[in-house]
Copies of this chain bind each other. A is one copy, B any other.
Amino acid sequence: MADIKYEITGQFGKISESSKGWTKELNLISWNDRDPKYDIREWAPGHEKMGKGVTLTADELKELKRLLNEMDI
């Protein structure tokens, strides 16, 4: 993924941290200088490497919030 340029423009918190220090985070990320999107993804310590994740628009994040608030969790 060396050719992907990104900038973390917002950080909303850590979802979890593994024993090896990788964190699952909710961020706002601009990919290749485009408008930033919300992003749920695993990161190595210091954001040195990124793992798998999913990007979400603002509307998708709102819908996800709505779904979670309907669930008995």
**A48 interface residue per 8 A CB criterion:** no
**A70 contacts which chain B residues (CB < 8 A)?**
12-13
Q: How far is the CA of A73 from the CA of B13 in the complex (A)?
A: 15
**A9 interface residue per 8 A CB criterion:** no
Q: Are the C-beta atoms of A65 and B63 separated by less than 8 Å?
A: no
**A47 interface residue per 8 A CB criterion:** no
**A35 interface residue per 8 A CB criterion:** no
Q: Are the C-beta atoms of A73 and B65 separated by less than 8 Å?
A: yes
Can you list 5 contacts pairing A with B, beta carbon distance less than 8 Å? A16-B57, A16-B59, A41-B54, A42-B54, A52-B52
Q: Which residues of A line the B interface, CB within 8 A? A: 12-16, 24, 26, 40-42, 52-54, 56-65, 67-71, 73
